[in-house]
Chains A and B, each alone.
Chain A
Amino acid sequence: MRESKPSHVRTVIAYIVLILLAFLCLFFFYVLLVNCTRDHISIQKGFSAIPGDHFITNYKNVLADANVPILSGLKNSLIVSGLAALFATYFSCMTAYGIYAYDFKLRKFAFVFILLIMTMPTQVTALGFIKLVEKMSLLDTLFPLFVPSIAAPVVFYFMYSYMQSSLPMELVEAARIDGSNEMHTFNFIVLPLMKPAIAVQAIFTFVSNWNNYFMPALVLTSKNKQTLPILIAALRSADFLKFDQGKVYMLITTAIVPIIIIYILLSKYIVSGVTLGGVKG
């Protein structure tokens, strides 16, 4: 019984630390949400915890500003992130299945190779990448931003691990006996079984592409092709202090809130997906 008292104290300390950390994580976003409902003058006057009533006005102001084409930004971000998620998950499943299900000569080599490049940042080849995109005359198009996600080592590794735990080869063999060819087996028997893994990885790929700033900023030059992070960065380089603060906060909100909504709806799967895949960033 001597044990119970100290662990009581520890529980209280744990709660205090956890609440402080949760406060830290939520506070900044709370300020963001409050400030996107207030107008420039009242934001300048000082912080208030109570939301204002300028949400709609701020939103209209952002829409009306030709320098920050937010609708086309949203559209471009959606296209890039959506297609990247689709490509990354489908082709990673395919690659993982190739290595999981078939015993070919280069199998081990292919596997080790993908694991080796798994944590290699794409930035180190940015120069060659940009020159290549230029040569293909694909600069200022969205293609170079989602086509490379066909080769996504991290997603591959996740899919491979998932297959190991939940794709019995007997099933594939049964399909063969039924006369299903290999491509058909993959598309109609293996893929449906991979749904949970695909969902988790689709979310992660979507989010990381939605947030990506480095590559899009190098590839996309014209305003109406740019994705949201570039528009936000442009906001910073404009004369910030003269800028309508209500608009600034509104633009940040537009970039962040869709992801937060997705996250709140799917947080259970996302949080448990973190550990399954292993590597991130």
Chain B
Amino acid sequence: MNNKKGKSISYARWGYVFIFPFFLIFAVFQLYPLITTVYYSFFEYFRSGLMFIGPKFVGIDNYIEIFKADLPKYMSNTMIMWIAGFIPQIVISLILAAWFTDTRLKIKGKQFFKVVIYMPNLIMASAFAMLIFALFSDGGPINGILMNLGIIKSGQPIRFLSSVVGTRSLVALMNFMMWFGNTTIMLMAAVMGIDPALFEAAELDGCNHKQIFFRITLPLIRPLLVYTLITSMIGGLQMFDVPQILTNGKGSPNRTSTTMIMYLNNHLFSKNYGMAGAVSVFLFVICAILCVVVYNSFNSDTDENITGKRKKNKRGARK
């Protein structure tokens, strides 16, 4: 009896019902906290002994203070450790993705290797850091093995965690191990999404594997590489568990492995809310910029679906 139009209008309000829980919880547990975080960042508000000082409005003093004191240092720590892990991660992942998808290399046990290299991603970062700490400690198994092999003299262990390079390298190593499997699998999917006819044509034209990799594979998976870079950067900014546990929250030696989130965590634990707010807002601004970049990187892919041309279009575009 009713025409189609009337029907679809009467259903539309259900959309709001279904998305309501998400937005309610988001508003309460993320949006409201964000607003109060920004609010506190403009106040002097900290605990001294058992007393709370403030809140007293101080304008942008907190921001000036974090920039004058420690934040630039912690930011460079974070960047150094992130880059030291990310470069090997992306290089190894690209090579592995190229190998796994190369039909001329007949690699057996691909599934086994994929399962093994992805495993560290699921391991509890704090337990992994604790394990690495135990293994690389002065009297730990790694030094023991090196002594048995005669690489170092007994009684003179390599003190990994007392040197800046040692600690940062261990953090980078762990980040590398936790993420290269994930990146490999993502890149493999991207390479397999490339039209096989392109590879066949290139082979017929006599391209070698290097040319195919640099001229065909790499340019075509560039959007995913950008996406990987940005999401990894956001992940890097969040670096916390590994250096926190490895150095017992001290960022030792001499705070050279303290990351920005560790800095935030220290302020939260000592209940210095003003400073914690300023650090958070700074991180929020960087992440917001990166989020927009991520959004744009797959905007073209998802946007048209919502505006009506659904499913067929997307599948067609991908294949």
Given A148-B29, A263-B115, 20 other A-B residues pairs in contact with their CB atoms under 8 A: A95-B22, A98-B19, A99-B18, A99-B306, A101-B18, A103-B8, A115-B299, A116-B292, A118-B295, A120-B291, A122-B30, A127-B40, A127-B268, A132-B36, A213-B125, A236-B133, A241-B139, A252-B127, A256-B128, A275-B188
Residues of A within 8 A of B29 (CB): 129, 132, 144, 147-148, 151
User: In this assembly, does A63 line the interface, its C-beta being within 8 Å of a C-beta of chain B?
Assistant: no
98-113 of chain A: CB within 8 A of chain B: 98-99, 101-108, 110-112
Chain B window 272-295, contacts with chain A (Cβ cutoff 8 Å), 1 for yes, 0 for no: 010011001101100110111011
Docked complex: B88-106 residues within 8 A CB-CB of A: 92, 95-96, 99, 104-106
Complex Cα–Cα for A108 and B305 (A): 10
Residues of B within 8 A of A199 (CB): none
- A179 in contact (CB, < 8 A): no
Given A229-B127, A270-B118, A186-B36 contact (CB < 8 Å) = no
**A–B Cβ pairs within 8 angstroms, 21 of them:** A25-B181, A28-B135, A44-B139, A102-B18, A103-B15, A127-B33, A131-B40, A148-B30, A164-B314, A165-B315, A182-B17, A207-B122, A237-B248, A248-B130, A249-B134, A256-B128, A267-B118, A271-B185, A278-B298, A279-B294, A281-B231
Considering the complex, give the chain A residue whose CB is closest to the CB of B308: A103
B: residues with CB less than 8 A from A are 8, 11-19, 21-23, 25-26, 28-30, 32-37, 40, 92, 95-96, 99, 104-107, 111-120, 122-128, 130-135, 137, 139, 141, 144-145, 147-148, 177, 179-182, 185-186, 188-189, 209, 230-231, 234-235, 237-238, 240-241, 244-245, 248-249, 261, 264-265, 268-269, 273, 276-277, 280-281, 283-284, 287-288, 290-292, 294-295, 298-299, 302, 305-307, 310-311, 314-315
> For residue A222, which residues in chain B have a CB less than 8 angstroms away from its CB?
none
Partner of B106, one of A11, A182, A236: A11
Residues of chain A lying within 8 A (CB to CB) of residue B284: 120, 124-125
Interface status of A192 (Cβ within 8 A of chain B): no
Contact yes or no, A7 B105, CB < 8 A: yes
Known: A15-B107, A119-B287, A275-B185. A255 touches B30 (CB 8 A): no
> How long is the Cα–Cα vector from A95 to B16 in the complex, in angstroms?
9
Kindly list chain B residues whose C-beta atoms are within 8 Å of the C-beta of A47: 141, 144-145, 148
* Bound Cα distance from A159 to B113, whole angstroms: 28
Q: Which of A224-281 contact B (CB under 8 A)?
A: 228-229, 232-233, 235-237, 240-241, 245, 248-249, 252, 255-256, 259-260, 263-264, 267-268, 270-271, 274-275, 278-281
Mostly, the A contact residues are helix
Distance between A207 CB and nearest chain B CB, rounded to angstroms: 5
Residues of B within 8 A of A92 (CB): 22
Contacts of B281 in A (CB 8 A): 124
Cα(A46)–Cα(B182), bound, Å: 34
Contact across chains for A232 and B264 when beta carbons are under 8 A apart: no
Report the minimum CB–CB distance from A57 to chain B (whole Å): 18
CB of A252 within 8 A of CB of B306, answer: no
- Bound Cα distance A218, B270 (Å): 11
**How distant is the Cα of A229 from the Cα of B287 in the complex, in angstroms?**
26
Report the nearest A residue to B307, measured CB to CB: A108
Chain A interface residues toward B at CB < 8 A: 3, 7, 10-11, 14-15, 17-18, 21-22, 24-26, 28, 31-32, 35, 44, 46-47, 91-92, 94-95, 97-99, 101-108, 110-112, 114-132, 144, 147-148, 150-151, 156, 164-165, 182, 186, 207, 210-211, 213-214, 217-218, 228-229, 232-233, 235-237, 240-241, 245, 248-249, 252, 255-256, 259-260, 263-264, 267-268, 270-271, 274-275, 278-281
Closest to A23 in B: B116
Instruction: Please state if A259 and B122 are interface contacts (CB–CB under 8 Å).
Output: yes
Whether B34 lies near A102 (C-beta < 8 A) is: no
Let me know if A126 and B141 touch, CB within 8 A: no
